[in-house]
Amino acid sequence: MGSFLIVSAPTPYLARQARERALPAAVSLNLGAPAIHDDGPVQVVLFPPLAKPALPLAHRPDSPFWVATAGAPICRGAAPPALNALLTAEYDAPGALLESDLDHLEGLFALFCGLTGSPSVWIVTDRLGSFHVYQAALGDALVLSNSALLLASLTRPALDPAAARHFLNTGSVFGGRSLFEGVRKLPAASVFECSNGALRFVRRHWDIATKFHGAGPPPPSVGDTARSLVEAMDA
């Protein structure tokens, strides 16, 4: 599926400095030769899937809008790199894409987009959070990646004891934790804006509850459930 790294910082110097610190760590993790998008305070680094070159960002020819995806997204039958080109053809700015219902995006993925020259980058996580996206602070910069190990190699955190217990007992780490303190997982089905080293939640783009409750009668209220239990016990 390939990996990615996004760096957001208050200044281009800090962003590039954080990116350069990350590249040797990526080499040590055998992530492959990167494709780098240098946009001053926003740095996007895309690493290739096994035995394949890294896919570059898709640019809209008549605007500074760009899109990139990681993982295995599907949109109307298209997958990267055709998907990236499809999105830039249909939308001309991050707002136009992110204000859509995003129901056409399926699969395990992270999507990120922005405008060349803008200090902001927008990140979209998939419906169930199956393709993990992690965040960590690196000085004044914020770094995001689907590799918690890459972020941990940069920030040198301690192990999270509770997360380690979860992993040893169940094989999974739950909630927003990772195995490393300070390396946090973004929630599923969410849109975020990252700017000047800070992350801001924008909205949820999908809710499983609305999909299932709309298919049948609404769930009973607490009062109705309590009355049903009393009636069953009295019967």
Print pLDDT tens along the chain (235 aa): 679 999 999 999 999 999 999 999 999 999 988 999 999 999 999 998 755 666 778 888 888 999 988 888 888 777 777 788 888 888 888 888 888 768 888 899 999 999 999 999 999 999 999 999 999 999 999 999 999 999 999 999 999 999 999 999 999 898 899 999 999 999 999 999 999 999 999 999 988 777 665 556 667 888 888 888 888 887 6
- Residue type for 186, please? L
Report the alpha-carbon distance of residue 30 to residue 224 in Å, rounded.
Answer: 57
Report the alpha-carbon distance of residue 230 to residue 235 in Å, rounded.
Answer: 9
- 3-state class (DSSP) for residue 24: helix
The CATH number of 4-234 is 3.60.20.10
**Cα pseudo-dihedral 193, 49, 109, 106, rounded to 10:** 140
pLDDT for residue 81? 76
* DSSP class of 19: H
Phi and psi at residue 123, to the nearest 5°:
-125, 135
- Residue type for 224, please? D
Environment class of 29 (CB within 10 Å of its CB; exposed 0-12, middle 13-18, buried 19+): middle
Phi and psi at residue 209, to the nearest 5°:
-65, -40
Radius of gyration of the chain (CA): 20
Specify the pairing of strand 184-185 against strand 105-115. Answer: unpaired
